[in-house]
Amino acid sequence: MASRGVVDLRSDTLTQPTVPMRKAMAAAPVGDDRYGEDPTVNRLEQRFAELAGKPAAVYVPSGTMGNQIALRLHGAAGSNVVVGRRQHLMSYESGAAGMNNAFQIYAVDDAGGVLDADAAAEAVAAGNGGFWPPVSLICLENTHLASGGLAVGAGEMAAVAALGPPVHLDGARLFNAAIALGIPAAELAKVATTVMSCVSKGLGAPVGSLLAGPADLVTEARLHRRRLGGAMRQAGVIAAGGLFALEHHVDRLADDHARAQRLGDVVAERWPGTRLGEAEAACGRPHTNVVAFRHPDAPALLDHLDQAGIRAGLLAPGIVRFVTHLDVDDTDIDRAVAALSSAPD
């Protein structure tokens, strides 16, 4: 529930640990994770690997670090790494891919959250023929933030994965996608060699993400984690929050999706045709906990909402974003709906 009368919908990273989660964190047995001796971290890694359908996993401080480690695992020097133009690791990681690696980013369109398969196939074929750099990795994202949190189906991702190169799945909100589509997270991650997911977003843990994949790659990932300064010590205190989130906060994501839909309905009524991913959602690809839409005067709208005690954010200039989460209840959504309904055009 929102605190101090403010309903904060800027991001699902804003959640506070619940009382039961705090108790689990306080009681967590710990050890030195750098030596693989923290039992709570080990349990978290094993549990995520099971849910993702992979042999092993490693706990990292952030989703960005998880993605960057995956790029190091797969992206060979002098190769092309195919990504969507609006994927998180392309647009929202401060250029880390280019600074940390010696491969080239080959960006293709990703309208509606799905890579342009023809463009990706062209890059793969040209690389195999010796005309262009070979493609060492294809990156996918699910849910797709820049498409308004659309969940991408397993079949759509499989069509891209069938091109041949290894696939890394940025599944920061993978469990949102799984709940929205009604299928296990492992089914969505099946096409990917490696998959990253955040426990610090909709799942409500205070910090951390996990990167899963084959055991040999995860062993190598631990080395890259150390090189990037992400090796932690008695990290079980925070890992316990992630473990609690995986055990108790996955199914309730459906509540966040329903609350986001209420906001989306108001947006559709007030500013028709402006919601990102609207056409794809109409064709059956579900939105999740993100409502993003274009507004002719976004700063004015944010000011109006702020005066009503509603905090929203910007996904990009002119694109307003709401993200529902664990700390927002139906009463908070009532307030947000009222503020949107009274906003000037």
Note whether residue 273 is domain-resident: yes
Nearest to 48 by CA among 243, 255, 189: 243
Environment class of 308 (CB within 10 Å of its CB; exposed 0-12, middle 13-18, buried 19+): middle
CATH assignment of the domain containing 259: 3.90.1150.10
Give the separation between CA 237 and CA 41, rounded to whole angstroms: 9
Give the separation between CA 188 and CA 210, rounded to whole angstroms: 16
What's the distance, Cα to Cα, between the start and end of the chain in Å? Answer: 29
Average pLDDT score over residue span 333-337: 97
pLDDT in tens, 272-290: 999 999 888 877 889 999 9
| C-alpha distance from residue 314 to each of 15, 42, 324, 335 (Å) | 18, 37, 14, 20
Give the separation between CA 310 and CA 307, rounded to whole angstroms: 7
What order of strands is seen across the sheet that includes strand 194-198?
56-60, 209-213, 194-198, 167-170, 135-141, 80-84, 104-108
pLDDT at 3: 44
User: Do both 226 and 264 map to the same domain?
Assistant: no
- Identify whether the C-beta of residue 51 lies closer than 8 Å to the C-beta of residue 246: yes
Q: With 0.85 as the threshold, say if the pTM is over it.
A: yes
User: Do both 56 and 142 map to the same domain?
Assistant: yes
Question: Number of C-alpha atoms within 13 angstroms, CB side, residue 69?
Answer: 34
* The total number of structural domains that make up the chain: 2
The string over 67-77, giving b where at least 16 C-beta atoms fall within 10 Å of a residue's C-beta and e elsewhere, is: bbbbbbbbbee
Q: Which of 183, 217, 248 represents a domain boundary (last residue)?
A: 248
Q: Which residues pair with 195 in a beta bridge?
A: 169, 212
Note whether residue 131 is domain-resident: yes
The alpha carbon of residue 154 and the mean position of all alpha carbons in its chain are separated, in whole angstroms, by 16
User: Do both 230 and 280 map to the same domain?
Assistant: no
pLDDT in tens, 101-148: 889 999 999 988 989 999 999 999 999 999 999 999 999 999 999 999
Instruction: Please check the confidence at residue 342 and state whether its pLDDT lies above 80.
Output: yes
User: Do both 158 and 271 map to the same domain?
Assistant: no
Higher-confidence position of 111 and 183? 183
Give the separation between CA 114 and CA 150, rounded to whole angstroms: 10
Range of the domain at 320: 7-16+252-341
